[in-house]
Amino acid sequence: MMHANPDVTMRATETGDNHAMKDPERDSAGAAMVLQGLHKSYGAQTVLNGIDLTVSKGETLVVLGRSGTGKSVLLKLIIGLQKPDSGSIRVHGEEITSANMEAVNKIRKTMGFLFQHAALYDSLSVEENVAFPLRRHTTMSAAQRGDRVQELLAGVGMERELKKMPSDISGGMQKRVGLARAMALEPGILLLDEPTAGLDPITSREIDELILKLQEERDVASIVVTHDLLSAKLIADRIVLLHQGNAVMEGTFDELARSDDKFVAEFFKRDS
Ligand SMILES: Nc1ncnc2c1ncn2[C@@H]1O[C@H](COP(=O)(O)OP(=O)(O)OP(=O)(O)O)[C@@H](O)[C@H]1O
Ligand SMILES: [Mg+2]
Three-state secondary structure of 188-219: CEEEEECCCCCCCHHHHHHHHHHHHHHHHHHC
Which one, of 72, 69, 76, 36, lies nearest residue 53 by Cα?
36
Query: Is 42 a pocket residue for ligand 1 (Cβ < 6 Å)?
Result: yes
Q: Which atom of ligand 1 is nearest to the CA of 74?
A: 18
CB 175 within 8 A of CB 114: yes
pLDDT at residue 102 is higher than 50: yes
Query: Is 47 a pocket residue for ligand 1 (Cβ < 6 Å)?
Result: yes
Query: Is 264 a pocket residue for ligand 1 (Cβ < 6 Å)?
Result: no
Q: What is the mean pLDDT of residues 250-257?
A: 94
- How far does residue 193's CA lie from ligand 2's centre (Å)? 7
pLDDT of residue 156: 87
Intervals of CATH 3.40.50.300 along the chain: 1-11+18-109+199-272
pLDDT of residue 1: 31
- How far does residue 73's CA lie from ligand 1's centre (Å)? 6
Give the mean pLDDT of the chain.
Answer: 87
Query: Is 242 a pocket residue for ligand 1 (Cβ < 6 Å)?
Result: no
CATH superfamily of the domain spanning 1-11+18-109+199-272: P-loop containing nucleotide triphosphate hydrolases (3.40.50.300)
Q: What is the mean pLDDT of residues 156-182?
A: 92
Query: Is 72 a pocket residue for ligand 1 (Cβ < 6 Å)?
Result: yes
pLDDT of residue 255: 93
Residue 24 pLDDT class (50, 70, 90 cuts): very low
pLDDT in tens, 30-78: 799 999 999 999 999 999 999 999 999 999 999 999 999 999 999 999 9
The DSSP bridge pattern shows strands 86-91 and 94-95 to be antiparallel
- For residue 173, give the H/E element and its range: helix 171-182
**CA 231 distance to own-chain centroid:** 13
Helix, coil or strand: residue 39: strand
The Cα–Cα gap between 227 and 57 comes to: 24
Cβ neighbours of 205 (radius 10 Å): 15
- How far does residue 115's CA lie from ligand 1's centre (Å)? 13
The pTM of the full predicted model, rounded to 2 decimals, is 0.87
Q: What is the mean pLDDT of residues 112-118?
A: 87
Residue 193 phi/psi, 5-degree rounding, is: -100, 100
